[in-house]
A and B are shown apart, each in its own frame.
Chain A
Amino acid sequence: MSNELEFLSRRVASGKLSRRDFLGRAAALGITAPFANALLSSAARAAGPVKGGTLKAGLVGGESTNSLDPALMMTQVPFAFGKCWGEMIVELSPEGKLENRIAEDIGSSKDAKTWTLKIRDGVEFHNGKTVTAEDVAATLERHSDEKSKSGALGYMKGIETIKASGKEVVLTLKEANADLPYLLSDYHLIVQPNGGKDKPDAGISAGPYVVKTNEPGVRHGAERFANYWQGDKMGHADQIEVIVINDATARTAALQGGQVNMINRVEPKIVDLIKRVPGVTIRNHAGPGHYVFIMHCNTAPFDNNDLRMALKLAIDREEMLNKVLRGYGSLGNDFPINASYPLFSEIEQRKYDPDKAKFHYKKSGHDGTVLLRTSDVAFPGAVDASQLFQQSAAKAGIKIELKREPGDGYWNEVWNKQPFCASYWGGRSTQDQMYSTAYLSTADWNDTRFKRPDFDKMVLAARAELDEAKRKQMYHDMAVLVRDEGGLILPMFNQFIDATGAKVDGWVDDPHQELMNGYALAKCWLQA
């Protein structure tokens, strides 16, 4: 079968091309109707999971300093590999519903302060032991401990006591939280034997794959776990491999050459070129992810709200969306929430306004340049976006000096350390989670140093509020506060743009994170 036909029939199977169009194109290629129909049905037959083979992903976002300790996961490679070997307490389905994993049932008291997790029977760790309520409790305890440096610590601190008894884990919260099950779906909370307290980076959990090779910054490999508790749903390929390819050109070439079956972070500027390559499918879908420029609200000169406002007004969002994302995204409005979150409400769109920016800049009294640190790894096209920002700001009389930082080390040395830099956020599943992770005064990842007791109070009040209409109004007020007084410049929400090679099947768009919320390797299969 020619590459082109194979490509077309796959597009029909994935619903991107109508049957009629397919027959028309096939005729144009000189294929008779009966044969074309036979092709179609074989493409449809291939729609069931196929076991076997090796699935390989070439991903950006791995460094030689990565660890298998789930608490320390931060970039894409540990995240995606974690979803292969780790098993969660609860997960979000692609539709945004809660999907119970190790917890069979999650119930709460009426005031949403006491939660009970019922632990599923017969789930096995890779080391042969059965997952117990004690393991789950120990996992949660470890991530609540300052010493673990867990990325989930920010909201794990809200849990007052964790008790395991029999098959249940009972959590009591300091403050009521209607969203607790969503918080437990955080990707750091991989259940480990004894919570990973003995050896946090052992790489043992109850996921569909068993870790075989772990060479940080180079490659990670795993084999199917024979005793995985839901082997019919995940773990189709015999082996999976993650190869770290931080160079975008090399990543694309590896997909085209067939060394890997899927890649993440296709740069928007080459999407249209890649689309035409036979066998390659672009997987783009909207999500809560956003590209940002972040200012530390407590560091001069950004401790002045007029300067922050001037910079927010001096960015041309439309231009950036069209030039950097080539339209694969939507406009941002300086608060981290968009329509992919429940309880979202519209706020007037902030526009590029050089005159107003000039006014605020003058009022701030700042003189001289503003140093913006940027890097290729901050987000795809970050350097271009920073240059656009520099130009649009220049028209408002604001001089931005760009400093291009090296890619490796950017997340350790620049992000969350330097007062003004480019960055990105993958987003979270609920508004409370997003604000708790990065906007509470006490959050470790408060990368804009937005420390406002009044805002913290609003977060806590909204969290405990069970009346949906009131809650929506509260989130609206919080958004306005972040938008008008925070340190976040959010020009655009991006789409996840992944790509798969020939024969990869089983892809389901997931709005939560790239690569099917990290599950692409565990849930996809290779056509026979």
Chain B
Amino acid sequence: MSSPILKLIAQRIALGILLLLAISVLIFAGTQILPGDVAQAILGQSATPESLANLREQLGLNDPAYVRYFHWLGGVLTGDLGTAMSSGQDIATSIKGRLWNTLFLAFWAAIVAVPLAIILGLIAVRYRNGWVDKLISGLALASTSFPEFFIGYLLVYFFAVKWQIFPAISTVYDGMPFGERMQAIALPATALTLVVLAHMMRMTRAAILNVMQSAYVETAELKGLSAFSVIRKHAFPNAIAPIINVVMLNLAYLIVGVVVVEVIFVYPGMGQYLVDHVTKRDVPVVQAVGLIFAAVYISLNIIADIAAIVANPRLRHPK
């Protein structure tokens, strides 16, 4: 690997970090703009002027906003996310378990969804405009068009209630045997797969079809390669950048956008945790979760960028 690539990658990462800092400012500012203050929210109805003043002092709310921001940022950088207002628990500890659950579910959904989407996309290109292509596209688009909760309830109805193959609720816990855990997440992972499948599949199909119009593919066809070999050797490597982009977008969705699926299957993940605390106006938790979600989004996008750079022969072999 040559230095221009390393330089590009380093630039991307630096940009990502800068972006994350900017987002942290936005998150902090956003929660400051909200009406009322944290002390008022904690004390609620029983608030007296003295207790409000005491609590403001205790929480450092009398400092100017920028001092509080750097204080908060310093805490975040050293792994201290503060304590939740509503339950008094340490946020970092509570988030760790939840984040792990979310990543676990997203990982297995991705393991199924990404290869499946790409293979279906390749098959659709091979038989483009035939009935196989139309069937694959139709089914994938249909599964994406249904709302997530509808797919979730359908899966529950058939697989949990009628045939009783998988459990209807996906409560997972520490120390759960791996087999049981897999069985528990089978239905939510399937629901997520169905939701993200079409986007990736259609993008794969479109990107490869685009490349298929080029002269070198025609050459490959003329020299007698089979249709799949043309796609695999010539079309796919050149179409990979947009595919990676859309895959990463969907991976990000699997992590930050699964609230509905988590609620239906009673899965203790980040989405549920965030919603719980938003409804309680638990600002420190909302800030922490927002920052983590932003970090996930940005890092996945950086990975997509880097992968696209690395996959591009013109960047890999500069003149």
Q: Give the B-binding residues of A (Cβ under 8 A).
A: 58, 63-65, 67, 213, 215-219, 243-245, 247, 249-250, 253-254, 256-260, 406-409, 412-413, 416-417
Contacts and interface: CB of A to CB of B under 8 A. Distances in A.
Given A219-B173, A257-B168, A259-B168, A412 B280 contact: yes
Nearest to A243: B171
B44 to A, nearest CB: 7
A409 B274 CA distance: 13
Contacts of B86: 65, 412
Contact of B279 (A213, A253, A406): A406
Residues of A contacting B: mostly: loop
A258 B157 contact: no
B171 A257 contact: no
Contacts of B171: 218-219, 243
Contacts of B164: 257-258
A253 B266 contact: no
B265 interface: yes
B268 A218 contact: yes
B169 interface: yes
B279 to A, nearest CB: 4
Nearest to A221: B173
A215 B168 contact: no
**A-B pairs, 4 with minimum CB distance:** A409-B279, A253-B168, A257-B160, A257-B168
B276 A249 contact: no
B167 A259 contact: yes
Contacts of A247: 263-264, 266
Contacts of B168: 250, 253-254, 256-257, 259
B contact residues, range: 20 to 34
B169 A259 contact: yes
Contact of A253 (B45, B157, B273, B281): B157
Given A218-B268, A249-B153, A63 B276 contact: yes
B161 A256 contact: yes
A383 B13 CA distance: 49
A244 B157 contact: no
Interface of B: 44-45, 86-87, 94, 153, 156-157, 160-161, 164, 167-169, 171, 173, 263-266, 268, 273, 275-277, 279-281
Contacts of A254: 160, 167-169, 266
21 contacts: A65-B87, A65-B276, A65-B280, A218-B171, A219-B171, A247-B264, A250-B265, A253-B160, A254-B167, A254-B266, A256-B160, A257-B156, A257-B161, A257-B168, A258-B164, A259-B160, A406-B275, A406-B279, A408-B275, A408-B276, A408-B280
Given A65-B280, A408-B276, A218 B173 contact: yes
Contacts of A63: 276
Given A247-B263, A408-B275, 18 more contacts: A64-B94, A67-B87, A218-B173, A219-B171, A245-B169, A249-B156, A250-B169, A253-B160, A256-B161, A257-B164, A259-B160, A259-B167, A406-B275, A406-B279, A409-B280, A412-B86, A412-B280, A417-B45
Contacts of B281: 413
A381 B311 CA distance: 56
B172 to A, nearest CB: 9
Best-buried of A244, A257, A408 by chain B (most CB within 10 Å): A257
A247 B275 CA distance: 14
Contacts of B45: 416-417
A64 B89 CA distance: 10
Nearest to B166: A257
B180 to A, nearest CB: 12
A253 B156 contact: yes
A249 B161 CA distance: 11
A190 to B, nearest CB: 20
Contacts of B273: 64
Contacts of A407: 279
Q: Which of A219, A244, A253, A417 has the most chain B CB atoms closer than 10 A to its own CB?
A: A253
Given A216-B87, A257-B164, A416-B45, A250 B264 contact: yes
B276 A64 contact: yes
Contacts of B275: 406, 408
A68 to B, nearest CB: 12
B76 to A, nearest CB: 21
B44 A250 contact: no
A58 B86 CA distance: 24
Nearest to B265: A250
Contacts of A417: 44-45
Contacts of B266: 243-245, 247, 250, 254
Nearest to A253: B168
Contacts of B160: 253-254, 256-257, 259
Contacts of A260: 169
B213 to A, nearest CB: 48
Nearest to B275: A408
A485 B94 CA distance: 47
B173 A213 contact: yes
Contacts of B169: 58, 243, 245, 250, 253-254, 259-260
Contacts of B265: 250
Interface centre among B86, B167, B266, B277 (most CB of A within 10 A): B266
Contacts of A213: 173
B156 to A, nearest CB: 5
A413 B280 contact: yes
Contacts of B161: 253, 256-257
Contacts of B280: 65, 408-409, 412-413
Nearest to A412: B280
Contacts of A217: 268, 276
Contacts of B167: 254, 257, 259
Contacts of A218: 171, 173, 268
A268 B157 CA distance: 20
A58 B168 CA distance: 11
A493 B164 CA distance: 36
Contacts of B157: 253
A245 B169 CA distance: 8
A259 B159 CA distance: 13
Contact of A64 (B44, B87, B263, B264): B87
A248 B281 CA distance: 25
A361 to B, nearest CB: 29
Nearest to B169: A254
Contacts of A257: 156, 160-161, 164, 167-168
Nearest to A149: B46
Contacts of B94: 64
A216 B277 CA distance: 13
Nearest to A258: B164
Contacts of A245: 169, 266
A168 B275 CA distance: 49
Contacts of A219: 171, 173
